[in-house]
Structure 1
């Protein structure tokens, strides 16, 4: 097998496989401009030393439930996190981002951001369903603005966030107002349907 053989596992004690210089130069414009060792300040320090690993392929962590994996990788790394398994609609969005798009595509990252936003909404609904709704007054710092002279913190400093702080109440408050409005409309529609209007 050559160095560029895609069947060679990545996570071995040896250096990971890599395509030849000719393949990379053909595929990536400008690749190899630093190949001249005289132009590379790190050259004397670059040496391939034995790793001392007592294994060829390390023992793999058991995958008890499917984990998301970028399409660029043949397999999961030997060790991976399991503390926050994917769930609900946000998990479906994240799985789709990993299964469909490369990490080099903006769509991959935009879908992950969308999954995070959906996860926030799911968490808020779950907390509301458990009788522990979010406290927007305390959690957003509005109370601290009044009790700890928040205006002085902006007036007497050169903080960078002063320029966009007029937008922050809109970003924090509008989702709550929209949710309240939707809830009010739902209650009104339910009341009308029960009255037979």
Structure 2
């Protein structure tokens, strides 16, 4: 069961709750009500000009239906249009927006869609004249030509903790695809001889 959140609309007037109601509902609410406890207090004085001016910009036209957060009534005035959702990854992304941004399902589905999108692009590259080359595109050759191994030790680098899994993440899908192709070829050959 999905929860539907009420969209945020800036112009909507909701009567504010009293300080007493908020203190009972939110632990620690009102801790900064005393101006002496707020580091930003001098800047909050009435009459101080910040120079900030903002008018709502003209809306960018939608060329295709965009994903929309359930928390907001409309899209931001400007949004990215470089990669419209397509294929299985696009369907996963659209499904992710059925969940609130506060739910793990929303973000996990978006991460899964990114992985599916990467797989889709790898598969597309295999049918082109210039398929992906994991050896040169990952920069693994620079490990030997640009002191890659030496730079890992004695430098207190944060990525040393997980560098053991990097070859598995990069080469794993390629090895699995190769094994799958060999298995498919053997099954096809066995089927033809039978």
TM-score, structure 1 normalization: 0.77
Q: Cα gap change, 1:132/1:40 in structure 2, threshold over 3 Å: closer, same or farther?
A: same
**What is the alpha-carbon distance in structure 1 between the residues aligned to residue 129 and residue 107 of structure 2?**
33
**What is the alpha-carbon distance in structure 2 between the residues aligned to residue 7 and residue 97 of structure 1?**
17
> Secondary structure, in 3 states, of the residue corresponding to 1:142?
coil
> Secondary structure, in 3 states, of the residue corresponding to 1:109?
helix
Q: Cα gap change, 1:8/1:190 in structure 2, threshold over 3 Å: closer, same or farther?
A: closer
**What is the alpha-carbon distance in structure 2 between the residues aligned to residue 81 and residue 27 of structure 1?**
38
Alignment gaps of 5+ in structure 1: 1-5
**What is the alpha-carbon distance in structure 2 between the residues aligned to residue 52 and residue 44 of structure 1?**
21
Kept in 2: contact 1:21–1:32 (CA 8 A): no
Q: Cα gap change, 1:32/1:189 in structure 2, threshold over 3 Å: closer, same or farther?
A: farther
- The aligned counterpart of 1:67 is 66
**What is the alpha-carbon distance in structure 1 between the residues aligned to residue 34 and residue 121 of structure 2?**
54
* Correspondence 1:93-104 to 2 at 5 A: 93-98=92-97, 100-104=98-102
Q: Deviations 1:160-180 (Å, cap 9, x if unpaired)?
A: 322332222122222111111
**What is the alpha-carbon distance in structure 2 between the residues aligned to residue 157 and residue 193 of structure 1?**
56
Q: Which has the higher helix share?
A: 1
**What is the alpha-carbon distance in structure 1 between the residues aligned to residue 129 and residue 25 of structure 2?**
56
Alignment gaps of 5+ in structure 2: 1-5
Q: Which of the numbers 157, 165, 168 marks the counterpart of 2:166?
A: 168
Number of residue-to-residue matches in the alignment: 184
- The aligned counterpart of 1:119 is 117
Kept in 2: contact 1:72–1:102 (CA 8 A): yes
**What is the alpha-carbon distance in structure 1 between the residues aligned to residue 8 and residue 106 of structure 2?**
26
TM-score, structure 2 normalization: 0.78
Query: How large is the RMSD of aligned CA atoms in angstroms?
Result: 3.0
Kept in 2: contact 1:8–1:17 (CA 8 A): no
